[in-house]
A and B are shown apart, each in its own frame.
Chain A
Amino acid sequence: MRTVKSQSQFTQKPSEQEDTQPGMLNRFRDYLIRKHIPERVRVAVIGRQVNDGLLFKALLVIILISIAVLYVKPLLYMMSTSVKTLPDLLDTSIQWIPRQFEWLNYGKAIDGLKYWRSLGITAFIALSAAVLQTIACGVTGYAFARLYIPGKKIWFAIVILTFLIPQQTLVIPLYVTYVKLGWLNTVLPFIVPAIVAQGIKGSLFIIIFRQFFSTLPKELEESARMDGAGAIRTFWKIMIPLSRPALLIVFLFSFVWHWNDYFEPALYLKGADFYPLSLSLQHLQSNLNYLSGSSSGLTNVVVDVNEPIKMAAAFLIILPPLVLYLFAQRYFVEGIERTGIVE
C-alpha cells in the first residue's frame, strides 16, 4: 500500500516541478510538446531540473568559455607578441598570429635575462625555501591541531595576527638586522625564515595544516600510542604519509610564491652579483646593451629592448611554474577538495 502511494507521489512530482521552472523554459517546453518531440529528447534538452538539461549546460559552458578567454587573453597576448617581429607588432592588421615567427626574440631574452644562471638561483631559492617551509609549517600546524599546548588559543591568535600584519611593515627592521648580520646579498633572508615557519605567507600555511590535521581521526594517534610510538614517530610515520595532499598543495603554493616574489629580492639582493628571475626583467635592457657594446666594439649599437623581447622574457620567467602546474594541476585541483582546507 505504502509503496504504491509513494509511487503515485513520484509520478505527480514532475508536473509540480514544471510549474516552478522559469517561464521561458516552460514556454519552450510547451512548444516542444506541441511539435510532438519525444519526451526523451525533451528531458535531455531541458532537463528535469533547471540545471541538468543540455540547454543549461550549453549556456554554462558558453559563459565559462567567455570568462576563460578573458582570463587567458593576457597570457596569449604574451605568447603571440613574443614571436612577433617589430613590423608585425606595429601593423594593426595583425592581431594574434604574426606573419613570421621571430624566434630570435627568445635568444635575446635568454641572453638579456642571463636566463640559465638566474633560473638556477631562482630554482634553488624557491625549492629549498618551499621544502623547508612546508616541513616547518606542517610540524607547527600539527602541534596546533593535535597536541596539548597550554595557552594554545593565545599562540594561535598570534598566528592569525601575523597573517594580518602586512609583511611590509616589518621589512625595515628586518632589513636593518640583515645588514648587521651581513646577510644582505645572500640567499639567507629567504631560507632562514622558512626553516622557522615564517617567510612568505607562512602563517597561512600553518592555518591550512592545522585545518587538515584536525580532520584526521583521533584514533590514529591513540592506536599508535598504544603500540608504543612516541610523538615524533607518530608524526613521521603516520601523519606525514596521510597528509600528502596537504603537503603537496602547500609546497606548490610556497614554491610559486617564492618563485614570483619580487618585493623581498628587490630589497635584500639589491647589490648582489646574482639575481633571481623575478628581478631579471629590470636588468634586461642594461644586460643587452652591455652584451652588444662588448661584441660590436667600435659601433656602440644599442639594442633597444622592444615589446616582443620583453614578452619573450616574461614568458620565459613564468614557464617553469607553468610547466609544474600543468603536471601537478590534477593533484592541485583534487587535493584542495580532499584536504578540507576549509571547515
Chain B
Amino acid sequence: MAKSQPGAVMSAREHNRNRGRQRGREALRGYLFLTPWLIGIGCFVCYPIFYSIYISFHKVSVAKDGSGLAYEWIGWGNYSYSFLKDNIFPIEMLSFLRELLFIVPITVIFSLLVAVMLNQKFRGRMFFRMIFFLPVIFATGEVLTELFSQGQGSIPFGEQYDIEGFIYGMFSPGIAGTILSVISRFIIILWSSGIQIIIFLAAFQTIPKSTFEAARIDGVTPWESFWKITFPVIVPFIVLNLIYTLVDQATSPFNPIIEHIMNNMSDVETGYGYASALGWIYCAVTIVPILVLARFTKQTNREKR
C-alpha cells in the first residue's frame, strides 16, 4: 500500500508509531484493570503454590526453640510415604475415584433430564425452577452433613426393597460397596446438580426458537429435534458440566480425602510437609481427568469449525 504512494511512506511510519503508542496506552489501561487480580494471584495462588511444593519435600516441625517452623529436606520421602506406608490414603483415593465414576455421570445425566423437562412450556414451571435451584442455597454447608447423618441423604425406598442384598448378589464386593455408598448419598448427589441444571437451561437458550419452528414445519417430531438440533448444541455443555461436577466433587470439603489431609496437617508425626504432599498427589489425580475432558472439548470444537 505504502509503496504505490511515495508520499505516504512517512505517514504510514508515523501512523505505526502512533498506533504503537496507542497500543501501549491501551495495554497499560488493561493492566490497570487487571492489577487487583494480579496481586491476588501472586499472593494467594502463586506464592502458596511454590511454598506448598517447597514444604512437600521437607519434614516440617515446630522449631526446638519455639520460634517458628523447622524444615528438614527429605526429598521424595513424603510422596513415597503416602503410597507405601500410609494405610489410609491410597485406599481412600481409590474408593473416591470409583465413586466419582458413578457420581459424575449420574449428576450430569440427571441435570440434563431435569433441564429438558424444565425447558418445556407448562404452567408453574417457575415454581419448579425455584425448587430445583433451592439446593444451591444450602447444599454446600455444614447443615448437609447433619442431614446426612440423619440418613436423609438416601433414597427413601432403598431399605424397603432390600437393595443392599440385591446389589451384593449382582456385583463383586468392591463394586457393590461403591454402588451402595453412592445410593446412600443419592439425594445429596442430586442436590449438587443445581448449577449444572442452570448451565443446561442457559445452553438451551442459545438455540434460536426459529430453528425449532422450521424443523417443526418440516414435520420433525420433538423427539427427533431434540437429538438432531438440541443435542449437538449442548454436547460442549455436557463436557463443561462434567468438568464442573468433577471440580465440585473434588473440592468439596466433605470428601474423605480432604479430611485425611487435614488430619495429617494437625498430626505431629506427619505434619504440614506430608499434608502438602498429599494435597499435590490429590490435585494431580483430579486434574488428569479434567484435562482429558478439556482436550476432548477442544477437539470437538475444532471439528465443528
Contacts and interface: CB of A to CB of B under 8 A. Distances in A.
Instruction: Across the A-B interface, give the 4 residue pairs with the lowest CB-CB distance, nearest first.
Output: A196-B40, A260-B141, A143-B33, A147-B30
Interface in B230-278: 237, 240, 247, 250-251, 253, 258, 261-262, 265, 272, 275-276
Nearest to B202: A342
B282 A170 contact: no
Contacts, number: 257
A102 interface: no
A209 to B, nearest CB: 11
Given A139-B33, A333-B129, 20 more contacts: A17-B219, A21-B221, A49-B222, A50-B221, A64-B114, A68-B131, A74-B153, A144-B34, A147-B30, A165-B45, A166-B282, A168-B282, A174-B48, A193-B40, A196-B40, A262-B141, A278-B141, A333-B130, A339-B202, A342-B206
A70 B134 CA distance: 12
B253 A262 contact: yes
Nearest to A282: B142
Interface residues on A, range: 35 or more
B156 interface: yes
Contacts of A147: 26, 29-30, 33-34
Interface string B134-164: 1111101111001100101101100000000
A3 interface: no
B265 A332 contact: no
A341 B137 CA distance: 19
A333 B23 contact: no
Contacts of A152: 30
Contact of B36 (A51, A139, A169, A261): A139
Nearest to A342: B202
B201 interface: yes
Nearest to A310: B146
B152 A73 contact: yes
Interface string B110-134: 0000100110111010101111111
Contacts of B272: 172, 176
B120 A51 contact: yes
Contacts of A60: 117, 120, 122
B48 A173 contact: yes
A198 B247 contact: no
A87 interface: no
B205 A314 contact: no
A45 interface: no
A227 interface: no
Majority secondary structure of chain A interface residues (helix, strand, loop or mixed)? helix
B297 interface: no
A90 B173 CA distance: 34
A153 B133 CA distance: 33
A71 B201 contact: no
Contacts of B223: 50
A206 B48 CA distance: 20
Contacts of A196: 36-37, 39-40, 43-44
A253 B140 CA distance: 11
B152 A172 contact: no
Interface stretch (B49-57, B74-82, B91-99, B176-184): B49-57
B104 to A, nearest CB: 15
B237 A342 contact: yes
Interface stretch (A28-36, A103-111, A285-293, A315-323): A315-323
B109 interface: no
